């Protein structure tokens, strides 16, 4: 800015002196401005040569020297202002583009409030050790990773994830460094040091990203190698035709500022925009490579699935109802460190089960846990541990179902008698299928799932989300071989989250890590890290890089095209040096302004404001209860013809009451509250019509079930009644299961896409 001020001041002073009749003094002022511009251009050329590059500032330097040599003082002064303003525009543009990155670095936590006995002491964040108990005050940044030690906490994760709404946490929940306390003070237990925390890792990634030179910008330097001699050639022709003044006029409009300014500004803007959405890209060259990828390899667990086990069914195998079986198992698992225990306890709490603190708890590795819940001994774990002997029909059915679905089973016994089984699975991410469809729209034409999981599980996931090929039971070495084969055929990106994915991420043309819950090894090996636990950000990343590359190319091609056209006009003698300098200044500004369009927030297909997003999240939570209800439909249908007829019909009446009193009101609320909201966001005349049709079908089958039960009355159902009842129950289960999944994928996963009210 100092250079721009000096050159503008000198240009204006020379003009005023000319108006005052002091032409010689005015020319001297303009000459001084031209000399200042030449000195700056010379320093830029030398700096480029020292860095091993041919600086395109050579053209500007030649234009300035030429203008001074032919006594075009005003032209020299205007060219100097052009050079200074171009540099100032570049600094301003880059400063605006890197604002998000700078703000991320500026928010680095520097201190922590640590408990020293009953008192609090304020220490540097670097002094915190794993295991320390810390307090975070309102509005403060969490200094290190840890687990919540208070009853609850409310945090703003937008700096890391781009999530617009605060997140509510309870005791035991994981909290990451860099998030802001959006509620009252809360305590937490540190699990890392500041250097190993999530935020420190992101800062390192951002620093690497900001220091990288994009491949496209290197292409700009190579472009200068032929543009420079071409410019000198055209200027030489002008010299031959009309002398040195014509050559200077050509040189003035030949400075390739659009090339040296627009491309870097566009790519830095792309890095900034990606970081704003929780997508950390390790350099502009990664943007270039990601835009070129047409093949995508995806790990399954933690990438296409949530990576966390959830209870999908509770099958009662005795007189105890399913919720009682779950409550007993969760009571014991409160004290268990097993990886599945948290899922069981969480499901019990979500269903409102009352948990009892167990006594005499024991854990046998490889078998399970046991403890006294009241006056009953409850065992949770493998079938034999829970007292299963032989092949009871309900056990055979549960195991068969788990094998087909790729789920896990946890058996529950009470006083040595098996009473039920919990079925757990790693659910597919609700946004997975939609993300893959979006990726195909951005130019990805081959999607392959590569996983170490069993083929039956992998095939089920792959067919559900629509990948082109499933490669299962692959070791880390096998994954490397897959990457090599795919890279030999097309530019390939690999997405993963585990330590076992790190080698493949490093080998791929672009490695992408699910960094929110993934391993440090995968994040370090990857080129792109998704800081939020949403795979749909992968599609956003593709959109950002494609748009960045397109706008950079547009800026360069349009700017250089205008410069070349101006050179032709100047060669013909129709553009004097002074006017050529002014025209080139306008071309520079237009190219940079166009490059800054990368920062503009695109109108994404769907926007939900914070109120609508909260409504969507409410219905997503209700779906958890609906899924538990669906399992009762299936169990009632299974009981018909196999269990005691009276017990079987009791179950059927119970599920009919559930359909009428719980599911029907939920569907009605969706119809009148959720669907109008989603319809406004999606646009069109009947965006939610297919889902409303499903509601009508569910209501029709529910009424038909009720009429059939009324017709049977207190009598035992005959064979035709059993067949009809099973048909209705299985049909309702299938429709509701599919309908719920479609709503979560198409509607409820949009809750993250919020805009200000």
Catalytic-residue membership of 299:
yes
For 417, phi then psi, to 5°, come to: -110, 125
Do residues 522 and 233 make contact, with C-beta atoms less than 8 angstroms apart? no
* Residue owning tokens 């896409």: 753
Give the whole-angstrom CA distance, residue 103 versus residue 98.
9
For 512, phi then psi, to 5°, come to: -125, 125
Structure tokens at 269: 């803007």
* Residue owning tokens 């979006």: 438
Structure tokens at 635: 């169990």
> How many helices (H) and strands (E) would you count in the chain?
28, 24
User: What is residue 115's three-state secondary structure?
Assistant: strand
- Considering only CA atoms, give the Rg of the chain: 34
β-bridge partners, 609: 755
Do residues 633 and 729 make contact, with C-beta atoms less than 8 angstroms apart? yes
For 131, phi then psi, to 5°, come to: 100, -15
Would you call 603 exposed, middle or buried from its count of C-beta atoms within 10 A (0-12, 13-18, 19+)?
exposed
DSSP string for residues in 660-677: IIIIHHHHHHIIIIIHHH
Sheet with strand 167-170: strands edge to edge:
167-170, 152-156, 180-181
**Measured distance between the N- and C-terminal CA atoms of the chain, rounded to whole angstroms:** 38
Structure tokens at 196: 């190993």
Give the whole-angstrom CA distance, residue 469 versus residue 460.
12
Do residues 513 and 526 make contact, with C-beta atoms less than 8 angstroms apart? yes
DSSP secondary structure code for residue 755 in this structure: E
Residue 179 CA, distance from chain mean position: 16
User: What is residue 419's three-state secondary structure?
Assistant: strand
Q: Which of 57, 145, 156, 299 is catalytic?
A: 299
Cα–Cα distance list, 543 to 244, 438, 479 (Å): 49, 9, 27
Selection from 575, 579, 571, 669 nearest residue 622 by Cα: 669
For 371, phi then psi, to 5°, come to: -175, 165
Residue 457 CA, distance from chain mean position: 25
For 154, phi then psi, to 5°, come to: -125, 120
b/e per residue 508-531 (b: at least 16 CB within 10 A): bbbbbbbbbebbebbbbbbbbbbb
Selection from 286, 230, 264 nearest residue 59 by Cα: 230
Cα–Cα distance list, 563 to 231, 247, 249, 584, 587 (Å): 11, 15, 12, 7, 8
Structure tokens at 204: 């390192």
Do residues 606 and 682 make contact, with C-beta atoms less than 8 angstroms apart? yes
For 756, phi then psi, to 5°, come to: -60, 145
CB proximity list for 508: less than 8 A, separation 6 or greater: 297, 483, 487, 492, 493, 494
Instruction: Return the C-alpha torsion angle 474, 479, 483, 484, nearest 10.
Output: -100
Residue 241 parent element (H or E): helix 215-242
β-bridge partners, 133: 189
Selection from 312, 311, 363 nearest residue 337 by Cα: 363
Give the whole-angstrom CA distance, residue 106 versus residue 108.
6
Catalytic residues: 299
């Amino acid at each position: 800015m100092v250079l721009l001020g000096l050159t503008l001041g000198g240009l204006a002073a020379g003009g005023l002196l000319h108006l005052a009749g002091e032409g010689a003094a005015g020319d001297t002022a303009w000459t001084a401005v031209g000399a200042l511009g030449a000195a700056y251009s010379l320093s830029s050329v030398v700096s480029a040569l020292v860095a091993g590059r041919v600086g395109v500032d050579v053209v500007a330097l030649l234009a300035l020297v030429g203008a001074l040599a032919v006594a075009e003082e005003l032209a020299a002064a205007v060219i100097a202002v052009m050079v200074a303003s171009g540099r100032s525009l570049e600094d301003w543009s880059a400063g605006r583009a890197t604002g998000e990155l700078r703000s991320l670095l500026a928010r680095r936590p520097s201190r922590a409030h640590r408990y020293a006995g009953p008192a609090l002491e304020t220490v540097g964040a670097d002094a915190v050790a794993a295991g320390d108990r810390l307090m975070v005050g309102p509005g403060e940044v969490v200094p290190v990773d840890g687990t919540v030690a208070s009853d609850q906490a409310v945090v703003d994760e937008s700096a890391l994830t781009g999530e617009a709404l605060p997140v509510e946490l309870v005791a035991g929940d994981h909290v990451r460094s860099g998030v802001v306390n959006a509620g009252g003070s809360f305590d937490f237990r540190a699990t890392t040091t500041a250097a190993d925390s999530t935020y420190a890792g992101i800062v390192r990634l951002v620093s690497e990203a900001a220091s990288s030179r994009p491949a496209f910008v290197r292409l700009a330097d190579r472009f200068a190698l032929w543009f420079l001699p071409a410019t000198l050639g055209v200027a030489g022709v002008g010299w031959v035709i009309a002398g040195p003044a014509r050559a200077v006029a050509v040189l003035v409009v030949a400075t390739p500022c659009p090339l040296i300014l627009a491309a870097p500004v566009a790519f830095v803007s792309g890095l900034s925009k990606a970081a704003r959405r929780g997508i950390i890209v390790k350099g502009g060259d990664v943007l270039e490579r990601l835009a070129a990828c047409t093949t995508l390899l995806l790990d399954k667990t933690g990438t296409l699935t949530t990576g966390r086990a959830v209870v999908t069914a509770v099958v009662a195998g005795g007189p105890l109802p399913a919720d009682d079986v779950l409550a007993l198992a969760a009571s014991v698992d409160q004290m268990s460190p097993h990886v599945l225990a948290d899922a069981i306890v969480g499901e019990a709490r979500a269903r409102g089960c009352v948990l009892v603190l167990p006594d005499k708890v024991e854990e046998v590795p490889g078998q399970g846990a046991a403890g006294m819940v009241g006056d009953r001994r409850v065992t949770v774990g493998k079938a034999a541990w829970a007292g299963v002997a032989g092949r009871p029909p309900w056990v055979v059915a549960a195991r068969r179902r788990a094998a087909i679905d790729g789920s896990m089973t946890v058996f529950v016994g009470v006083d040595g008698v098996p009473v039920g089984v919990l079925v757990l699975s790693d659910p597919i991410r609700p946004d997975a299928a939609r993300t893959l469809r979006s990726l195909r729209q951005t130019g990805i034409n081959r999607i392959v799932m590569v996983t170490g999981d069993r083929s039956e599980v992998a095939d089920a996931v792959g067919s559900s989300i629509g990948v082109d090929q499933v490669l299962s039971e692959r070791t880390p070495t096998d994954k490397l071989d897959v990457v090599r084969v795919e890279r030999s055929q097309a530019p390939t990106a690999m997405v993963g989250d585990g330590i076992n994915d790190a080698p493949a991420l490093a080998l791929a043309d672009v490695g992408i890590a699910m960094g929110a819950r993934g391993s440090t090894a995968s994040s370090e090996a990857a080129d792109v890290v998704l800081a939020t636990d949403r795979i749909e950000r992968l599609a956003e990343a593709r959109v950002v890089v494609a748009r960045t590359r397109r706008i950079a190319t547009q800026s360069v091609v349009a700017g250089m095209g205008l410069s070349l056209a101006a050179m032709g006009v100047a060669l013909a003698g129709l553009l004097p040096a002074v006017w050529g300098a002014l025209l080139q200044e306008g071309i520079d500004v237009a190219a940079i302004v166009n490059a800054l369009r990368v920062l503009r927030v695109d109108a994404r297909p769907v926007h939900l404001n914070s109120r609508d997003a909260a409504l969507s999240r409410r219905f997503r939570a209700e779906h958890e209860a609906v899924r538990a209800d669906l399992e009762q439909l299936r169990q009632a249908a299974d009981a018909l013809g196999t269990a005691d007829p009276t017990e079987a019909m009791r179950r059927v009446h119970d599920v009919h009451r559930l359909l009428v009193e719980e599911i029907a009101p939920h569907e009605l609320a969706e119809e009148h509250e959720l669907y109008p909201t989603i319809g406004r966001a999606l646009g069109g005349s009947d965006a939610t019509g297919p889902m409303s049709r499903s509601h009508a079908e569910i209501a029709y089958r529910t009424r038909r079930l009720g009429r059939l039960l009324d017709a049977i009355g207190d009598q035992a159902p005959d064979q035709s009644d059993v067949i009809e009842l099973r048909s209705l129950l299985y049909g309702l289960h299938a429709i509701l299961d599919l309908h719920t999944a479609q709503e979560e994928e198409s509607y409820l996963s949009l809750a993250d896409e919020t805009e200000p009210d």
